[in-house]
Amino acid sequence: MHAPAADSRVSIIIAARNNGCYLAEALASAFSQTVPCEVIYADDASIDDSVDIARKWLPAGLVLLPADLHQGVCATRNRGAQIARGDLFVFLDGDDRLPPDFVARHLAAITPDAPFVYGPAKAFGDGPQARSFWSVPPWSDYDRWVCNTVNTSAMYARWAFAAAGGWSDRVPTMWDWDLALRAARFGTPRASTATLDYRQHAASWSARIAEKDSARAHYLAIVRRRNARLAVGTILSGRLPELFREWLDAVAMSVRRVETSELPALVLLDHSRDPEYRRRVEQELSRYGDTFGLMRVVDHPVEFAWTTERDRRDQVATFLAGAYSRLARLLGSDVQWFIEDDVIVPLDAGETLWQALTAGAQPPHGISGCYRNRHQPQRYVGGWWRNDRAEEPTVIAGNDAEPLLPVDFVGTGCLMTWPSRTPAWTESHIRGIPAHDWAWSAAVKARRGSLFFHPQVRCVHVADEQTRLVG
């Protein structure tokens, strides 16, 4: 727990450059809070009268941080945070303002274990958006990997701000989203009713709509790739014990090419019930401590019996639905990559799927690599529902003209997903067909989610010790 002391203070940190014509209003709003706050003004080497205006507030208790060198808004905010004495930080741009009860409303929402609280914004000033209002959803309803609703003036707990690394300018124009995603790793953020007065004027970034939109798609992908954590998981059946070393080598080499801010995790759900196989698995894992940040092997000794082939398929589907549900919980990451233990991924699989899954204004919900159906080798696992029947493709072009192929269902052989944007693996059958992966796919599509095959990710599906089906 990171509980603030009962007499803790809130630090309002105003960072600005050349906002002299609006700065007095911003400072007045900080000093007019119904809750007493420390107020810090960090100037970013302004060449107007900003510092002179700020000096007028020194008798009121303002902490002034001038600068001779222009460093940018993120470094300037961090300078203010470094000297702040409060346990809670509120950041304010020099051209915005806070209603008198802003801090009080944030304080009413924050809890000791919440990394930050965030609220709506109301536009004022000049321009076409001057009457806009931006509401915020509860965090549980917030698709945080699609867009940002956390503005600059969220209230951050000092411990969470420090753990997240503070403000970063590695993602221009999307500092708020970048910091919120990093801080959200340390707890569940909460929505508040503290409404920021967000000024609109010709020089503000939000007013330059064309410039903002042209850069948006590019920076959305950068923010996702910088902040999303990747984990790889599989269910160890023990069916092909000699294959594990090759499987692990392929996964490790592919993972090394994925650019993430943290080493990926690897979780293996062991259903083999074979102590010797388990020993060999753990021995092989010891070679890759520098590739995976976390490696876990978890027992999953579920037993089932059957009398007919139909009964066997029903029970296998039920088992797999439960096993993948447990595996997804154990992975616990932002992006999950399921790779079946009889699928050998190509070297560029992780990088290619990662780039595709994180791109775009509305990123896909899941992307599968291509691999042959080991029961019907002429077909790929995945495809469409047509005339109330599942149809798998027999030919996939795999050219640059159509890098992604939209499909209605995918398999779990080589599947990368956003778990926060997709349903749990709960259903085992769909339309009477025992298929946990198709049932999951149908649940994704019911949410209007998007699933794709990536024709350029062609895996090898090992049917038995002698047969390899090349994707």
| pLDDT (average), residues 353-381 | 94
Residue 252: strand pairing partners: none
- Residues 436 and 321: beta-carbon distance below 8 Å: yes
Does residue 149 carry a pLDDT above 90?
no
Amino acid 132: pLDDT? 87
Give the pLDDT band (50/70/90) at residue 410. Answer: very high
SS3 call for 135: coil
Does the pLDDT at position 128 exceed 80?
no
215 pLDDT band (50/70/90 cuts)? low
Domains and CATH numbers, the chain: 10-223 (3.90.550.10), 228-470 (3.90.550.10)
When pLDDT is averaged across residues 64-89 and rounded to a whole number, the result is: 96
The answer to whether 16 and 23 have CB atoms below 8 angstroms apart is yes
- Given this model, what pLDDT does residue 253 score? 98
Q: Is 305 left (phi over 0), alpha (psi -120 to 50) or beta?
A: beta
Q: Please choose, from the candidates 390, 376, 372, 388, the residue with its C-alpha nearest in 3D space to the C-alpha of residue 453.
A: 372
What pLDDT score does 206 carry?
Answer: 53
CA distance 314 to 239: 19
pLDDT at 3: 38
What residues does 429 pair with on adjacent strands?
434
- Checking if the pLDDT of 130 tops 80, the result is no
Please enumerate in sequence order all residues whose Cβ is within 8 A of that of 15, keeping only pairs 6 or more positions apart, or say none: 41, 42, 44, 73, 76, 77, 79, 80, 91, 92, 93, 94
Q: What is the mean pLDDT of residues 345-371?
A: 96
Give the Cα separation of 90 and 96 in Å (integer): 13
Is residue 339 scored above 90 in pLDDT?
A: yes
Placement of tokens 């500092």 in the chain: 175
**Distance (Å, whole) CA 7 – CA 13:** 19
pLDDT in tens, 154-211: 999 999 999 999 999 888 788 999 999 999 999 999 999 999 999 987 665 554 444 5
Mean pLDDT score, 253-278 = 96
Distance CA 70, CA 45 (A): 5
Q: According to the model, what pLDDT value does residue 217 have?
A: 77
3-state secondary structure of 159: helix
Cα–Cα distance, 347 to 256 (Å, whole number): 9
**Coarse DSSP helix, strand, coil percentages of the chain, rounded to the nearest 5 percent:** 35, 25, 40
Tokens of 88: 């809670």
d(CA 388, CA 371): 24
CB burial of 6-30 (b: ≥16 within 10 Å; e: otherwise) equals eeeebbbbbbbbbbbebbbebbebb
Is 2:159 a contact under the CB 8 Å cutoff? yes
Pairing between strand 414-417 and 366-370? antiparallel
Q: 185-194, 335-344, 378-387 — which is least confidently predicted?
A: 378-387
Residue 401 has pLDDT above 90, yes or no: no
3-state secondary structure of 336: strand
pLDDT at 162: 97
Is pLDDT larger for residue 469 or for residue 251?
251
* C-alpha span between 322 and 300 (Å, rounded): 10
pLDDT band at 256 (very low <50, low <70, confident <90, very high): very high
Task: Tell me: pLDDT of 218 over 90.
Answer: no
Which tens digits make up the pLDDT trace of 55-74?
A: 999 999 999 999 999 999 99
Q: Measured on CA atoms in the order 186, 190, 194, 200, is the torsion positive or negative?
A: positive
Confidence of residue 273 (pLDDT cuts 50, 70, 90): very high
Q: Is residue 277 scored above 80 in pLDDT?
A: yes
CA distance 350 to 73: 35
Question: Can you tell me whether residue 87 is helix, strand or coil?
Answer: coil
- Measured in whole angstroms, how far is the alpha carbon of residue 265 from the centre of its chain? 15
For the chain, the average pLDDT equals 92
pLDDT at residue 288 is higher than 70: yes
Cα-to-chain-centroid distance, residue 289: 24
Please report the pLDDT score of residue 214 as a whole number. Answer: 54
Q: List all residues 6 or more positions away from 41 whose beta carbon is below 8 Å from its beta carbon.
A: 14, 15, 16, 23, 27, 54, 57, 62, 63, 64, 65, 80
